[in-house]
Structure 1
């Protein structure tokens, strides 16, 4: 296959949404990097797609691949309406922004949240379990992380049904118009919220702290940067964890021997969560990278300005890195998995997501010993950013 050939992934139809792993396996057989055409809300787009583990890991740390699209003439919609945030920034701006917020996500600060996360989980299960059956996404996987991140940020109780629609539209858009509308509405919401908090004075929550955070050199976040940070932390802070919990429970329920092994030895819970992250992680591809200069990836030349998608899900099933990669094995050595990325853009909230996942899944299995699927899972999210099901019917 020539380096300039474009592979139209829409030819695989709905399989790319339902089960992309055979598609990625076929691509890896042909090579680690491909020029592909992908369906989008407003038509289609061409991009480079990296699918080999070693090439993905290297691409995530290559400074020639910029997250800031302006370095190649591009400017994402959310940056125009929301403001600059971590996933759209490169050093030194990225270093500055991350430094101003990283203190809120240290292992110590996250561990302090354990009792509250446990309490929220218990309350949700108290409400869910007497019913005998439920959609696990609606009953646990969604409300737990959205409650935790809203409390952490200091966001008041909001219409979660409406917010969920907007959030899902951003990570899995159904149309360009709907995506634009959701972005505008969230930008307006965060602008008002930040102004309210600025006027109210310190309240001890993360957003209030960020408004008043000053670095040693006197640096502070601008209004646009505050809005961008709130947007990123709220969206990324719950969407990934929803899918982590949903995908992990689905993997366990469809692999009864692994579920039985975990029930027999709950010390395997940490390994089960990590294997679920590798086997069916919540993020399918990275945010777009842009070639700031010509470079080669996997022997393929990428020209300046080209867009690059780094395939996290594809890399996790690369047999060159993990033996029998399609086998779900909670005792597997999963070190080096890329579910949370790699390098300077490694997910800031990974410790929090892991803690929520372990508490939610562990408590669910302890309190619902007869847990099983109650029909087919809902459809997988569209697009190639998030990997998760819209619903997960279970009974016990």
Structure 2
């Protein structure tokens, strides 16, 4: 592999998934929808992917080969990740009120005030800062607040992040279900966190996320399951995005421009998410006969939405280019399963990115790709303020 001719995003994907990633990209060249024996029907076109995601009756998350196969043994039967139908709609209606933009902004501002002040101080002093380690701390602090962790501190927050990473790293792009041993290892992590969430839920303090879940009418089991789902799906997504956002802006020569005009930050975040695609694939199980892009599918078929292919079809990183409507944050899902944690993720990303941009001009002083993870990311990415 001639690493010199690859951009850093390609390097990250190839380091993390050296065999699956070339296969995934190769399928995009075969056509918008391809049936692959042993894998399923692979969708690599955004408008078709959106059609699948919007039709929760035909393409479901609770059948064979779906996310339910992965997460039900770990999280139980009643979390949004593995539900469909009226039960899913009822739970989602209650949870949607949980992370409003105003509440998410206030939660992140309160929880991250100290870590952000420390980050700003270190950058102002001219110190090198590893954004990977910084984001582990930030993401751990926010998810700790969500599940009701009473005693924090940097060591506790980093440990919390590492616990989630242990579970997610068991999964590859080819994983259909966890083995009994993997389920047991995941439960070793999640059961104590569920106990923390249940204690916060029982206290009923509506200033906490778990207390708000109780006030919204969720049962204790639903609150525990939701806390586990937030822990697994939200922590790494945010933590991996910020270093990659900074790297993309740096490599495109746009860091100073976005620092000078903050109206460009949200488009830059959306564009970074399109290019990095924090959810590179999504799974659905077919429940009734139909077709996808002219390819017939039958009940029991597995549909693999190659979100990364859908997103990368629109070219290299360019935050000044408007994204077409069929994308519309496809990396967060669409329709009945659009990520309800989106406002919380954006609040956290904006705050950390804003603090970094306040220290501009910045330069990257070193970086290396991570191995043994599910979401491609940097092992280290160090930045320093330029004098």
TM range (shorter): 0.7 to 0.9
Report if aligned partners of 2:130, 2:383 keep a CA contact under 8 Å in 1.
Answer: yes
How far is the alpha carbon of 1:252 from its aligned partner? 1.3
Q: Which moved more, 1:116-125 or 1:370-379?
A: 116-125
In structure 2, relative to structure 1, the CA distance for the partners of 1:176 and 1:371 (3 Å cut) is: farther
Map of 1:389 onto structure 2: 378
> Which secondary structure does the structure 1 equivalent of 2:368 belong to?
coil
Report if aligned partners of 2:367, 2:379 keep a CA contact under 8 Å in 1.
Answer: no
2:86 to 92, 109, 123: 92
How far is the alpha carbon of 1:271 from its aligned partner? 1.5
Work out the number of aligned pairs and report it: 358
Matches within 5 A, 1:256-275: 256=253, 258-275=254-271
1:314 to 297, 309, 312: 309
CA distance in 2, matches of 1:74, 1:57: 17
Is 1:296 aligned with 2:291?
yes
How far is the alpha carbon of 1:90 from its aligned partner? 0.7
2:346 to 354, 366, 391: 354
1:330-375 CA distances to partner (integer Å, 9 max, x unpaired)?
A: 21212524121111111111122122212211211222x3422222
Report if aligned partners of 1:247, 1:388 keep a CA contact under 8 Å in 2.
Answer: yes
Map of 1:150 onto structure 2: 144
CA distance in 2, matches of 1:74, 1:54: 21
Map of 1:371 onto structure 2: 362
Is 1:196 aligned with 2:192?
no
How far is the alpha carbon of 1:152 from its aligned partner? 3.6
CA distance in 2, matches of 1:295, 1:21: 28
How far is the alpha carbon of 1:277 from its aligned partner? 1.3
How far is the alpha carbon of 1:266 from its aligned partner? 2.9
Unmatched 5+ stretches in structure 2: 1-12, 172-177
2:69 to 63, 66, 76: 76
Matches within 5 A, 1:44-193: 46-63=39-56, 64-69=58-63, 76-83=69-76, 84-113=78-107, 115-116=109-110, 119-126=113-120, 128-129=122-123, 130=125, 132-139=127-134, 141-157=135-151, 159-173=156-170, 176=179, 179-193=182-196
Is 1:209 aligned with 2:212?
yes
Report if aligned partners of 1:117, 1:359 keep a CA contact under 8 Å in 2.
Answer: no
Report if aligned partners of 2:61, 2:83 keep a CA contact under 8 Å in 1.
Answer: yes
Is 1:32 aligned with 2:32?
yes
CA distance in 2, matches of 1:313, 1:197: 37
CA distance in 2, matches of 1:153, 1:166: 14
How far is the alpha carbon of 1:203 from its aligned partner? 5.7
CA distance in 1, matches of 2:179, 2:126: 39
How far is the alpha carbon of 1:224 from its aligned partner? 3.4
In structure 2, relative to structure 1, the CA distance for the partners of 1:181 and 1:388 (3 Å cut) is: farther
CA distance in 2, matches of 1:107, 1:14: 35
In structure 2, relative to structure 1, the CA distance for the partners of 1:131 and 1:36 (3 Å cut) is: farther
Report if aligned partners of 1:284, 1:387 keep a CA contact under 8 Å in 2.
Answer: no
Unmatched 5+ stretches in structure 1: 1-12, 38-44, 215-219
Map of 2:234 onto structure 1: 237
> Which secondary structure does the structure 2 equivalent of 1:183 belong to?
helix
Q: Which moved more, 1:143-152 or 1:228-237?
A: 143-152
Is 1:246 aligned with 2:243?
yes
RMSD after superposition: 3.0
